[in-house]
Amino acid sequence: MSGELLDAVVVGAGPTGLACGIELTKRGLRAKLFDKGCLTNSLCNYPTNMVFFTTPELLEIGGIPMTCLGEKPVRVEALKYYRRVAQHYRLDVHQYEPVLGFEGSPGSFRVRTRDRMGRENEYACRFVILATGYYDRPNLLGVPGEDLPKVTHYYREPYPYFDQDVLVVGGKNSAAIAALELYRAGARVTLVHRRERLSDSIKYWIRPDIENRIRNGEIRAYFQTTVREILPDSVVLSTPEGEILLKNDFVFALTGYHPDTEFLARHGIVFDPGTQRPRVDPETLESERPGVYLAGVVVAGMHTNEIFIENGRFHGERIAEAILRASNSI
């Protein structure tokens, strides 16, 4: 076990985990952050050409101004910004070192990790902050063939799909943007959505584009339709008019993501059975397991459309304040 007793271990070095690290540091508390991937791992895996929906000042953490070339930041600008902020505050981030689990109680937790060499390490800390996000866990369609190599739950860029028959599943921003980019890169795109129409949450600058492409027949769309089965060279759709078979080369199932509730539950996080939200103190974000705090999108449980970087970034301050107070009383 590493010798020093840390004030806190932060699990996850996304925007929220970094905000937690910064706010702890500002208060003179010692923290280590761990990420199973790289710094801001989720953002790194977002679509290559993504443009944030949010203006830059709403993505800022640690009081460091963010600027961007256009009206809204692109992925690369956000990646550079968060990296510079982490460097500025000299955050102690262990990348590529997943947290396997932790035991203990306030004042004496032991956090277990595995580093890149496959070594299992243990760190002692007084408090634990879980800022593990949701992007690792796609919402699966749960249909036969979903495990075929041509199926992905992550869209990166359109260029490999020129002259291919591509199915995009979903009716929100990610599905609409992917369908548009794929169409413009020369793929034959079919969009399938289980509801009657595209989601109301589609951004106002994306909606007319996708609706016009569908109206013009440039993107084929099936509403109130689900995927029944994925076969190596086709897909079976269940439409209001019955089942149809479509020629298919690739499937993008962009039906959202959810937090690793098993990991959370295994570590004593209690979920509200009605809403599926983790139970936390609304002020401090301490969970029902004393000394363990939740930060960022995990606070919303399955309601991942409620917490973004925009509002999750403020969790760091609340948790750091609570930990500072609690440190003085144990």
Ligand X SMILES: Cc1cc2nc3c(=O)[nH]c(=O)nc-3n(C[C@H](O)[C@H](O)[C@H](O)COP(=O)(O)OP(=O)(O)OC[C@H]3O[C@@H](n4cnc5c(N)ncnc54)[C@H](O)[C@@H]3O)c2cc1C
Positions touching ligand X (CB under 6 A) are 11-17, 34-37, 41-42, 46, 50, 52-54, 98-99, 131-133, 135-136, 174, 296-297, 308-310, 312
- For residue 124, the cross-strand partners are 5, 110
Whether the Cβ atoms of residue 178 and residue 254 lie closer than 8 Å to each other? yes
Q: DSSP string of 252-283?
A: EE---B---HHHHHHTT--B-TTT-PBPB-TT
Residues 6 or more apart in contact with residue 132 via CB below 8 angstroms? 11, 12, 259, 260, 263, 264, 298
Question: In the bound complex, what is the minimum distance in angstroms from residue 308's beta carbon to ligand X?
Answer: 3
Cα dihedral 69, 71, 75, 76, rounded to 10, equals: 10
Question: In the bound complex, what is the minimum distance in angstroms from residue 327's beta carbon to ligand X?
Answer: 23
Runs of H (alpha helix) within the chain: 15-26, 41-44, 75-88, 173-184, 207-215, 261-266, 309-312, 315-327
Please say which residue, 121 or 327, places its beta carbon nearer to ligand X.
121
Taking CA atoms, 236 is separated from 217, 223, 242, 250, 255, in Å, by: 20, 14, 10, 13, 18
Question: In the bound complex, what is the minimum distance in angstroms from residue 329's beta carbon to ligand X?
Answer: 28
What's the DSSP call for residue 118? S
Please say which residue, 42 or 225, places its beta carbon nearer to ligand X.
42
- Cα gap 22→15, rounded to integer Å: 11
Please say which residue, 99 or 221, places its beta carbon nearer to ligand X.
99
Burial class (CB in 10 A: 0-12, 13-18, 19+), 260: middle
Question: In the bound complex, what is the minimum distance in angstroms from residue 231's beta carbon to ligand X?
Answer: 28
Question: In the bound complex, what is the minimum distance in angstroms from residue 295's beta carbon to ligand X?
Answer: 7
Please say which residue, 188 or 315, places its beta carbon nearer to ligand X.
315
Question: In the bound complex, what is the minimum distance in angstroms from residue 323's beta carbon to ligand X?
Answer: 18
Q: Which of 99, 77, 76, 73 is nearest to 17 (CA)?
A: 99
Please say which residue, 14 or 62, places its beta carbon nearer to ligand X.
14
Please say which residue, 91 or 237, places its beta carbon nearer to ligand X.
91
Question: In the bound complex, what is the minimum distance in angstroms from residue 161's beta carbon to ligand X?
Answer: 18
Please say which residue, 14 or 106, places its beta carbon nearer to ligand X.
14
Question: In the bound complex, what is the minimum distance in angstroms from residue 258's beta carbon to ligand X?
Answer: 12
Tokens of 95: 């990348």
Please say which residue, 154 or 223, places its beta carbon nearer to ligand X.
154
